[in-house]
């Protein structure tokens, strides 16, 4: 369960999030959409504790990011936009990186976790490869495996399909759903890809100029008359043509 409560965020004098409220229940996929500059990345940074929150709060499984940042962060796993793998580490060591910082791991246990997580993302036997040997889609899969190794209750995905061709994007969306079904993790996905959002979401929130202008089901999103949503959907269909 992830709850964002009356969150306000500023950069210097500029306010970029205004009383943002939203919630994703256990095992739910919440997709946060919005055009460029809407505040999606800022929201994700606040949730993951990468920047201090100005006012309001984020609760991860009921734990406040404001007052208990370390404990709250331990509930969450982040899948970065460009996977953010360490170039000098092979896939095996990338996957274990966070876990090794948290606790001691025997070689055997490490091997078991890596092979389990690589299997769950469809990349069996790639532990010895270096990031430079991976395609864009494979990098995203390794990024997910690395987050999953920490067994988070909440998964945060930053633009999981950006920079991917449509076929790979479709496969990654499938993987996000499979992962949710298997782990029952609450999933928070930031995306500006309308098609991907409609495939994935149980709930959609739409951020425009730092405000939530829509929160509802994909069905309600499809028929929404909210101006910035109409604009984004129109742009998306223009690209699809």
> Where does this chain touch ligand ADP (CB under 6 A) — which range of 21-29, 30-38, 76-84, 133-141?
30-38
Contact range with ligand ADP by CB under 6 A, out of 38-46, 81-89, 123-131, 147-155? 38-46
End-to-end CA distance of the chain: 38
Told to check if 39 binds ligand ADP by CB under 6 A, we report yes
Q: Fill in the per-residue mask, 4 to 43: x = in contact with Mg ion (CB under 5 A), - = not in contact.
A: ------------------------------------xx--
Region 37-76 residues binding Mg ion, contact defined as CB under 5 A: 40-41
Q: Give me the least distance between CB of 157 and ligand ADP, in Å please.
A: 13
Tokens describing residue 160:
């999981």
User: Which one-letter DSSP state was computed for residue 36?
Assistant: T
Q: Measured between alpha carbons, how far is 33 from 219 in angstroms, rounded to an integer? A: 15
Task: Quote the least distance from Cβ 17 to ligand ADP, whole Å.
Answer: 8
Using CB under 6 A as the binding rule, whether residue 40 contacts ligand ADP is answered as: yes
User: Do the beta carbons of residue 28 and residue 203 sit within 8 Å?
Assistant: yes
Of all residues in this chain, which one has the CB nearest to Mg ion in the complex?
A: 41
Length of the chain: 241
Q: Tokens at residue 57, please?
A: 């709060």
Count CA atoms within 13 Å of residue 68 on its CB side: 10
């Amino acid at each position: 369960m992830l709850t964002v409560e009356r969150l306000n965020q500023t950069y210097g004098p500029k306010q970029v999030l205004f009383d943002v409220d939203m919630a994703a229940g256990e095992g739910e996929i919440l997709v946060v959409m919005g055009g460029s500059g809407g505040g999606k990345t800022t929201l994700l940074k606040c949730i993951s504790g990468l920047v201090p929150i100005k006012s309001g709060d984020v609760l991860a499984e009921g734990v406040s990011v404001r007052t208990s940042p370390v404990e709250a962060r331990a509930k969450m796993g982040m899948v970065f936009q460009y996977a953010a793998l360490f170039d000098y580490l092979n896939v095996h060591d990338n996957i274990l990186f966070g876990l090794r910082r948290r606790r001691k791991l025997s070689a055997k246990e490490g091997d078991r976790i890596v092979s389990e997580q690589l299997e769950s993302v469809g990349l069996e036997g790639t532990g010895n490869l270096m990031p430079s040997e991976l395609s864009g889609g494979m990098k995203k899969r390794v990024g997910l495996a690395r987050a999953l190794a920490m067994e988070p209750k909440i998964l945060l995905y930053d633009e999981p399909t950006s920079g991917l061709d449509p076929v790979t994007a479709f496969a990654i969306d499938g993987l996000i759903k499979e992962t949710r079904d298997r782990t029952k993790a609450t999933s928070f996905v930031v995306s500006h890809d309308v098609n991907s959002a409609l495939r994935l979401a149980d709930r959609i929130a739409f951020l425009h100029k730092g405000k939530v202008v829509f929160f509802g089901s994909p069905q309600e999103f499809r028929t929404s008359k909210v101006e910035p949503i109409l604009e984004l959907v129109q742009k998306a269909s223009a690209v699809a043509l």
